[in-house]
Chain A
Amino acid sequence: MLVEPVQSALDPAGSGAEAILTLFWIFLGVSAVVWVLVVIALALAAARRRSRAERGAGPLAPAPRGEARARGVVGSAVAATGAVLITLTAFSYFTGKSLADAKADPTLTIEVTGHQWWWELRYDDPRPDMRFTTANEIHVPVGERVRLILTSNDVIHSFWVPSLAGKQDLIPGHDNEIVIEVAREGTYRGSCAEFCGLQHAHMGLTVIAEPRAAFDRWRAAQAAPAAPPQTEEAARGLAAFQQNACVLCHAIRGTGAGGMVAPDLTHVASRSTLAAGTLPFTRGALGAWIADPQAVKPGANMPRSELDPDELNAIIAYLEGLT
């Protein structure tokens, strides 16, 4: 309404969302007409002028003409209802079919694994050195079909970027699939759409659609190992990272940090948000997040830090350099 809708089914940028919105307008139009007709019928029934004879009659007074007319009207209304429903069902079926047909020949496959409360993304590739894992922010090439294979590591989540497509659940033990095709460049926000615990509200994700060339550059950069620290403070930060609790959970490819249970931080500074869309990626937010994640996302799996201020600043400096 007042804010640019980057997260709205009413502002579609993907082929899936567009098809669904068109279907929705049809249903909405038909529904509005039906409702207005029902309200008019009720109003007419209420306001009909009753004759003196009618007003004086007892409750069981026969009204054969009125009843015959009512039978006719009700019968026609029922028939019309049936016809409308069949038509709407047909529209729905054909939209569903076109969405299913739009899944053929994807050019890119990404494995999405849901965790409490972040998204693990694994970009696959025939070349092993081009495979990488990242978190919470998906880049896709504009205009191409991208297949996302969805599963979960813990509870049921749901992948939903309303501007791009409908949702699909991430269910442990299942591999669901969704194909998105983004028609215009931009940044699109999504959320988890299946209640998954304490921080379901803060499990957002970002999809960035960019031209093929830019996408390829991004991908090559992501596949590369982490940038070495550029300043002395950042070097101290890397050392602090490896000597503290961080390494038990997080991985930074190219260093000794190989934790598997938390978001991959190899290129964390290339992402626009932190903590699955909860905070922007800025120095202050990063500091606040590391110092006390429980204040931002109570119940999240990241513990409060026991770092002293110098270590914290050094780690922030290092992480900011991981573009």
Chain B
Amino acid sequence: MTDIAAPVKGQRDSGLDDATLHAALTRTWETPRGLYGFFATVDHKIIGRRFIVTAFVFLFLAGLAAMAMRYQLSRPENTAIGPDLYDQLFTMHGSTMMFLFAVPVMEAFAVYLVPLMVGTRNIAFPRLNAFSYWIYLSGGLMLWIAFLLNIGPDVGWFSYVPLAGPEFSPGKRADFWAQMITFTEVSALAIAVEIIVTVFKQRAPGMALDRIPIFVWAVLITSFVVLFAMPAVMLSSTTLILDRLVGTHFYNAAEGGDPVLWQHLFWFFGHPEVYIIFIPATGFISAIIPTFVRRPIFGYIALVLSLISIGILSFGLWVHHMFATGLPQLGQSFFTASSMLIAIPSGIQIFCWIATIWLGRPMWKTPLLFVAGFIVTFVIGGLTGVMVASVPIDLQVHDTYFVVAHFHYVLVGGAVFPLIGAVYYWFPKFTGRMLSERLGKWNFWLAVIGFNAAFFPMHFLGLMGMPRRVYTYPLGAGWGELNLFVGLAAAMLFASFAVFLWNVVASLKRGEVAGPNPWGGGTLEWATASPPPFYNFMRIPVVTHREPLWAETESLPVATGLRVDARELICGTVTDATPELRESSPENSIWPLLSAIAVGATFIGSIFTPWAVVWGAPPIAIGLIGWFWPKGTPEDEE
């Protein structure tokens, strides 16, 4: 490593040799070791990794809650867990999985991968990125600490009123749930904004919109869905807190409100929410398949259009969660039709993926195994989805174990299997080590067999009359044997996650060292070291093809001219990524953390008193002033 002389002000990267460039860029882009670096980093890779690890911790916590529930249900009239704790467990399981695991982990992969895939040095609005992690962490910690303090919510992950209202949910439990929503939705909205701007404006020169990877399209569309859906749930959680804390009557039928309003507001968000989880997972599949069948994805345009239509259509389905509430039949039929309609773009995706596999030459490594597991499992969930889209059928199976089976099939089959496959795929890139293939195969088979054995029988249980959210069931109902079987199979599924965790932990230390492109992938993230250096790419690549690494067999063409003594990246036009300007990117900063603490304290305080908003405003203002204080960045001076 060359001795670094003090950087020349304004020095560009043109004409520098690799070693000097590496040293200078590292100095400019690095996150220093130590506490300050830990708390002040704005590097999307570090933040993305943190997000992923935190989300997986929540996955395990929610999984433990599920195992407790299955234990309680393994025998009729079991007395292991009483109704109060059981109600908290299923609420924590659902809320954690949906709000603290599934959405954040998809966002996390986007945060890590999108800048690498589009060929830029950092995500847009890096300090906002840091802020969104701290806010997410605060919300998750708040919810779980509340649970440990016996203030965990106990009204289900969608918290229907009037049960969650002031009369029937005494204390602060439901308020903690509602405020957790606020935390996680602020975090999600922030990331959505960053992704959209990164994808639109920071792509490498030449990466026209029809050359971006499908994964990037998927998270771009997801980000738009987040933008339009999250406000609905923030509105519902805010009105719930208002009803409970301040005495408004949004959901009080006696004073002109309506409990059904809650359902509309929540599900208007809730249905897009599951697509917020599912669409990035389809992005994973579209990234894994080409690499492992060594062929570009079939039907790029069809896939993009399908993703866009899924994003738009997802806003037109929400009433299918409310078919039993007594809404007019004609209106319900409309939502049956729209719920069926969304199966078409989902089908298009599946057919294109199978076509890609058929056209290519598969390498059956663990990521591709999980893709196969996804197709086989998710299609079952999609088909039961078509069943529950039908109003008459739904009137029998709504709120029973049939629908529990359905949504686990689409969420685990449709999002978790691709996610695990994605971890196996990108682990070498994130850490520089390969995961064990042997353990990967164990992971896969335990997961697929355990999952199907645990959840397929639930279809029967639902049809046989077992409702959801029951802490026990009568001996005479005849559900005992199936529930016991389900419990044992769930243990197998849990074991698959234990194997996964073991694989990750062991491979971090002893996994085979990975080079920049161990799988032979074609997209830009494989063009840099594993793990990537702080600055991502030594020189910004110029893109002429959808799979740049396959198209350019020698070396990638690059663009030069960025400064090495200050953080700079290239901004381009939206459609063609023609470079327009050099944009400076923020340095490490402690203000996102401080602002997140102020915002978090305000949110938590407002559970207890409306005055918290007033008292919290000055610290938040100070945090934001510190954050936005002009720093004399280069373009300001020129």
Contacts and interface: CB of A to CB of B under 8 A. Distances in A.
Interface of A: 1-3, 5, 7-10, 17, 19-20, 23-24, 27-28, 31, 34-35, 38-39, 41-42, 44-46, 48, 50, 54-55, 58-60, 63, 66-67, 70-71, 73-74, 77-78, 81-82, 85, 88-89, 91-93, 95-96, 99-100, 116, 150, 154-156, 158, 160, 162, 165-169, 171-174, 176-177, 189-201, 204, 277-278, 298-299
Nearest to B378: A38
B227 interface: no
A74 B299 contact: yes
B184 to A, nearest CB: 22
Contact of B84 (A9, A41, A156, A198): A198
B464 A8 contact: yes
Contact of A168 (B324, B468, B469): B324
Given A35-B383, A55-B361, A197 B168 contact: yes
Contact of B398 (A19, A155, A167, A172): A167
B83 A60 contact: no
B463 interface: yes
A9 B477 contact: no
Contact of B344 (A85, A174, A298): A85
Interface residues of B, number: 91
Contacts of A160: 399, 467
Given A20-B395, A166-B392, A198-B87, A54 B361 contact: yes
B357 interface: yes
A34 B379 contact: yes
B550 A59 contact: yes
B209 interface: no
Given A1-B464, A96-B332, A200-B470, 13 more contacts: A1-B482, A9-B464, A24-B396, A34-B379, A70-B358, A70-B359, A95-B390, A100-B329, A158-B399, A166-B395, A167-B324, A176-B325, A193-B399
B354 A166 contact: no
B336 interface: yes
Interface stretch (B96-104, B105-113, B290-298, B558-566): B290-298
A152 B392 CA distance: 23
B343 interface: yes
B393 interface: yes
B354 A42 contact: yes
Nearest to A99: B392
B298 A92 contact: no
Contact of B400 (A58, A155, A193): A193
* Interface of B, helix, strand, loop or mixed by DSSP: helix
B622 interface: no
Contacts of A177: 326
Nearest to B333: A93
A113 to B, nearest CB: 14
B393 A27 contact: yes
Interface string B233-258: 00000000000000000000110001
15 contacts: A1-B464, A1-B482, A20-B392, A39-B379, A46-B362, A54-B361, A59-B522, A60-B550, A96-B392, A155-B160, A166-B394, A167-B398, A167-B399, A194-B399, A201-B469
Nearest to B391: A96
Contacts of B340: 85, 88-89
Interface of B: 82-84, 87, 155-156, 160, 162-163, 167-168, 253-254, 258-260, 290, 294-296, 298-299, 302, 324-326, 329, 332-333, 336-337, 340-341, 343-344, 347-348, 350-352, 354-355, 357-359, 361-362, 364, 372, 375-376, 379-380, 383-384, 386-387, 389-400, 460, 463-465, 467-474, 476-478, 481-482, 520, 522, 547, 550-551
A59 B83 contact: no
A88 B390 contact: yes
Contact of B396 (A31, A35, A167): A167
B338 to A, nearest CB: 10
Looking at B290, B350, B390, B394, which has the most chain A CB atoms within 10 Å of its CB? B390
A171 B296 CA distance: 53
Nearest to B302: A74
A189 B550 CA distance: 64
A92 B392 contact: yes
Given A81-B344, A96-B329, A38 B350 contact: yes
Contact of A88 (B163, B386, B476): B386
Contact of A73 (B259, B295, B355, B467): B355
A192 B467 contact: yes
Given A191-B467, A197-B168, A27 B390 contact: yes
Contacts of A42: 354, 357, 372, 375-376
Contact of A189 (B82, B465, B468, B522): B465
B477 A3 contact: yes
A45 B547 contact: no
Contacts of B167: 154
A78 B351 contact: yes
Given A42-B375, A59-B295, A299 B83 contact: yes
B400 to A, nearest CB: 7
A154 to B, nearest CB: 6
Nearest to B165: A155
Looking at B84, B302, B399, B481, which has the most chain A CB atoms within 10 Å of its CB? B399
A233 to B, nearest CB: 31
Nearest to B295: A59
Contacts of B163: 155-156, 195-197
B341 A77 contact: no
Looking at A41, A82, A171, A195, which has the most chain B CB atoms within 10 Å of its CB? A195
B478 A2 contact: yes
Contacts of B478: 1-3, 5
A46 B372 contact: yes
Contact of B463 (A2, A8, A34, A116): A8
Contacts of B329: 96, 100
A171 B326 contact: yes
Contact of B168 (A85, A154, A165): A154
A168 B347 contact: no
A52 to B, nearest CB: 11
A172 B255 CA distance: 12
Nearest to B371: A42
A24 B393 contact: yes
Nearest to A45: B358
A173 B263 CA distance: 14
A46 B292 CA distance: 12
Contacts of A169: 324-326
Contact of A70 (B355, B390, B460): B355
Looking at B302, B392, B476, B482, which has the most chain A CB atoms within 10 Å of its CB? B392
Contacts of B348: 74, 78
Contacts of A96: 329, 332-333, 390-392
Contact of B160 (A28, A92, A100, A195): A195
A27 B387 contact: yes
A77 B326 contact: no
B299 A93 contact: no
B331 to A, nearest CB: 12
